[in-house]
Structure 1
């Protein structure tokens, strides 16, 4: 990848120019951050697992009619994706009170919400990605009314699909964060799902024990982050046995 021009580096991924116009290569890092990057670490194998999990989910979402930027996985850490103009909003769907919602509204963590709630945050690291309303989005032109409607519709459809997908694997989908982009196709512009879907961007709890299988293990110093991500991959059938986890870590440590 050193011969490729880097387009953007984020907290957990790097984007490089793609082999063809309209494409990018998305590289998954092992870096873990929390609290607006105030807490940082490198977790061996995390990027490899997130690459595989995001590939799996994006493919299945495409199969049920959710357009997204994923084209194909190139190797253990890289995906070929469609180049989009990212809409500067994080779309959060919550099924169960957790994290900032529990603190903000005084709701006990783990309490089921009356219905799925869609929230928006303005993508601005220096401001801490503040929560914003649909009024803010419209007033500042961060997304058009049509784009906003599409993002909400897609977000709820994604929630329905993923809730069932994870429940079938014995996992409760607590909440998740997604991003959307504008895909330019000639004179046409489409709103499509972008970024990633992985335990970095979802809260996932064991259906029976409520054991956390997501990034909260890093946020809360619980340990076993990579092992939890590997458990999610195993339950989804992405990796078969614990031996494949060892292979992932061996690949990671080999420096390839």
Structure 2
């Protein structure tokens, strides 16, 4: 692959995972597949996390309240992604919370309406992330919180690739099926670069032990969620992939906050 191919993949993955505008030339003649571009998901996570991360830096420089800073940063993050992953979390919670079989769960995921389980999942996720980020900002300061924000943004999207490749498709007509499965090379690139970026950034922010423990808990969360989805649905959907990001981001931020 040439360097320009990596730039194209980065633009395509960023365009898919966020609402950030990307130059049209990167999509010219492209079939919409993410099979190769999935390898750049960790780098895309860095780009997406830059927006809330910079908000944390700026507000911390003015000694703004840590809780308010955390809420504003996460609100900005949701705006950048268009709540793409939150939608996946809510739909997955509604489906898996229902008392029905596999086909009923898949039908619930297609429903645009949100149910009780979806609302609760979103509230709990947002509350945990705000609380964890507030602790991180208060204990280690804005610069270190900025680095952790980048690390978690990258690693949680790395987990999406892992979930995506470990499971087969639960249905043939969903978003995940339409964009193709990640290639082996893309999966390897995502897993290695995502883990390396996480360890490097968290080590700079809070030390190597914290970084390794945080990575271990993130991997455990991704593994547990993937096992649950396999047992209930027999494969992934676009919603379960998005939910993977939310679950891993929440678990990772909470873990890092507890370790400080």
TM-score, normalisation: structure 1: 0.33
In proportion to residue count, which structure has more helix? 2
Q: If the length of structure 2 is used for normalisation, what is the TM-score?
A: 0.33
Of structures 1 and 2, the one scoring higher in RCO (CA 8 A, sep 6+) is: 2
Structure 1 or 2: larger strand share?
A: 1
